Structures are given as structure tokens and as C-alpha cells.
Structure 1
Amino acid sequence: MKNLKFITLLLITLISVTSCSSDDDSAPEIINEEEVITDVTLTFTDANSNATTYTFTDPQYRDENYVAPTISLTSGETYQVETNFYNNSDPNDPEVITEEVMEERDDHFLTYGFVDSDISLTRTDGAMSTDSNGIQIGLSTQWVAGAAGNGEAIVSLIHQPESKDTSNPNGAVVGGETDVQVSFDIEIQ
């Protein structure tokens, strides 16, 4: 009987010791936090090298002086357009999110939509914004303004799409999450 008690006590002790192992044995999971994007800029450069930048600021970060931008284009003109993303949530430590988008170009893609705006878009990305499959992610584009009118441009930055499609230069994706989507008013004269 003493042996049975001793064996039972020994088993309970062994179970207690092995079940109390530390969870620190495995490395912590690295979490890639999504960046805060407060501002999206479109910089248009015309044939005469005149550049105009339009900035959309998230409503949460606008001040009392914010005026919603209206992109003004001339019918028949061609513009080189650079799209950039910023985190200005801390004015003392602004971040250029575009750099991260380029570093992680396999995980990012931009789509463009035009509502009531006659715009022909062509992707013109260089090596720094072309993914490992040769797909231009859309940070650099060329816009040709068509017929006069008013409308809007919708710019979306997609994170980790399952597939990227540039058969239509405006771009399309399957899956992924939208990091940011903004709308700019457009006036073509």
C-alpha cells in the first residue's frame, strides 16, 4: 500500500512539473502592424514640367484650414502622376509610408477608378515599384485627360491581394485588405 501511495505521489509530482513548463520556449510571433495613413498625395507633372500636388487628408487629421482638393486638368493633356502615402499623425515625427509600400511591393497594389471623368491611365512604374512577378503596382502612372467635365478619381491601396490584374491599367485585385481608399474631385477643362 505504501508503494502505491509513493508511486501515486511520484506521478502527481511528475505531472505537475511537466505541465508547468514555460510558454517562453517558443519565439514570439512577429506582428506586422498596419501603418496609419493620414494623407494621400497625387503630384501631377505636365509636359512643361510644371508640378501640382493635391493632398487628401483623413477627416480625423484635418485642421480648420483644410480644403478638399479638386484636381484641375486640361483636356487633351498628358500628366505624369506620382502617388504617395504619409503618416502625419505625429507632426514631430512624420513618416513617408510610400517607402514601406515600395519595400513590400509584392504585398501592395494600387487601383484607380474614375467616375464621370474621361481619363486614360497607363502604369509607368520603375523597378522600385514593380513586384517580383513584373507587375507594376501603380505608384507611378500617366494620365491623359479626355473630354471636359467634372467627376472623381478613387485611389485604393490594397494590402496582400491574392492576385493583381493590370489587363485594365486601372487595376483590379482578388482578395486582400484596403489599407486606404480616397476620392479626389476632378475638373477637366
Structure 2
Amino acid sequence: MMKNLKLLALFITAIAFTSCSDDDDAPEIINEEEVITDVSLTFTNESNQETTYTFTDPQYRDENYVEPVILLNEGEVYQVETNFYNNSNPQDPELITAEVQEERDDHFITYSFSEVSVDLNRTDSEASTDSNGVQIGLFTEWITTATSNGEVIVRLIHQPESKDTSEGYGSFTGGETDVEVSFDIEIQ
């Protein structure tokens, strides 16, 4: 009888171990969210001078970080390139913009200005225009119209249901926000 109990206990233990090994069949995460630590806006003025302003997520800032303030001149036209980075591992920085461009049907950038006078036009090439002909907003033109101080909120949207560029700033429905950052702007 004791031998039968030992066999029964061994059998139950074996069943328990084999039923736990089903974890190998767990579904694999297909589209893991990207980490975006930095958003940069690079301005090129009419004299072909470049200035880059970078917002860094607070958890990745070092002691030398200074909040960016975009300084622009009234009545000028600026070509602006927007880039996204994952610098969570300083030894292996990653340009997320390349993935955004590659997956342009699934991404859209909006620009929302507050208390500052800027007209915005999208200037994306075919490489950053989705399959429906919508410019996703990696490349824009900013025209400053009056001296003012305010801010711009830049949002990268993932899988929006609809994208609208009838106004250059962009609007959308559905989707999720991959990143949203705010830059202060001074137009002199």
C-alpha cells in the first residue's frame, strides 16, 4: 500500500510539472512599445543656419539639462525637422524616427500652438507620406507672424483611426499617444 501511495504521489507531481510547462506556448508580444526619451526639433532659417532644440523625458535628464526655449525671429520662414530618440542606454542610442517613417501608415504628428503666432505647413516627402497621401509631419515649415511668447505641443500618435491635414497642424481620431512634449517658444 505504501508503495502505491509513493507511485500516486510521483504521478501527481509529474502531472503538476508538465501542466506548468505550458508557459512555452504563451503568446509572443508582437509590437512592443518603443521607448522615446528625447524629441528634437531642428530649425533651418532662411540663411541656412541650423538650431536644434531637444526635450528630454525627466527620468533620463542629467544634471546639465536645461529646458529648451525655441527662439525665433518675427516674419521668418523656418524649415523644421522632427526626430524621436531612445537614449535610455547611452552606449546604444537609437533613432526612433526611422521606425516612424517606415511605419508611416501607423503614425501621425500633430503640432498645437498656444499664445504664439506660427503658421505651419507640412513639407514631408514621399518617404514620410502614408499610403493615403497624408503627410505624417516629420518635416514642416513654420512661418512666424508676430512677436509673441507661448508654447508648442508635439504629439506622436500611433495607429490613429483617421488623420486630417486640412490645417497643417494636424488632427486625428482614435489611436494612442506614443509621446507628447511641450516646448516654450519666444518670437522676437
Aligned partners of 1:55, 1:30: CA distance in 2, in Å? 31
Aligned partners of 1:88, 1:29: CA distance in 2, in Å? 25
| Alignment of 1:51 onto 2:50 | yes
Structure 2: runs of 5 or more not aligned: 1-18
Deviations 1:110-144 (A, max 9, x none): 00000001000000000110000000000000000
Alignment size in residue pairs: 170
2:59 partner SS: helix
1:111 paired residue number: 110
Aligned partners of 2:81, 2:132: CA distance in 1, in Å? 22
Tell me the amino acid that sits aligned with residue 103 of structure 2: E
Report the alpha carbon displacement of residue 31 of structure 1 after superposing the two structures with TM.
Answer: 1.5
Aligned partners of 1:47, 1:28: CA distance in 2, in Å? 52
Aligned partners of 1:23, 1:119: CA distance in 2, in Å? 57
1:85 paired residue number: 84
2:136 partner SS: coil
2:152 paired residue number: 153
After superposition, the Cα gap between the structure-2 partners of 1:26 and 1:91, relative to the gap in structure 1 and judged at 3 Å, is: closer
2:127 partner SS: helix
Report the alpha carbon displacement of residue 146 of structure 1 after superposing the two structures with TM.
Answer: 1.3
Aligned partners of 2:25, 2:65: CA distance in 1, in Å? 49
Tell me the amino acid that sits aligned with residue 80 of structure 1: Q
1:102 partner SS: helix
Tell me the amino acid that sits aligned with residue 46 of structure 2: A
Amino-acid identity (%)? 71
Aligned partners of 2:143, 2:29: CA distance in 1, in Å? 43
Tell me the amino acid that sits aligned with residue 47 of structure 2: N
* 1:1-189 correspondence to structure 2 within 5 Å: 28-189=27-188
Report the alpha carbon displacement of residue 29 of structure 1 after superposing the two structures with TM.
Answer: 4.4
1:49 partner SS: coil
After superposition, the Cα gap between the structure-2 partners of 1:118 and 1:27, relative to the gap in structure 1 and judged at 3 Å, is: same
Report the alpha carbon displacement of residue 25 of structure 1 after superposing the two structures with TM.
Answer: 11
Per the normalisation by structure 2, the TM-score is 0.86
Structure 1: runs of 5 or more not aligned: 1-19
Aligned partners of 1:103, 1:28: CA distance in 2, in Å? 25
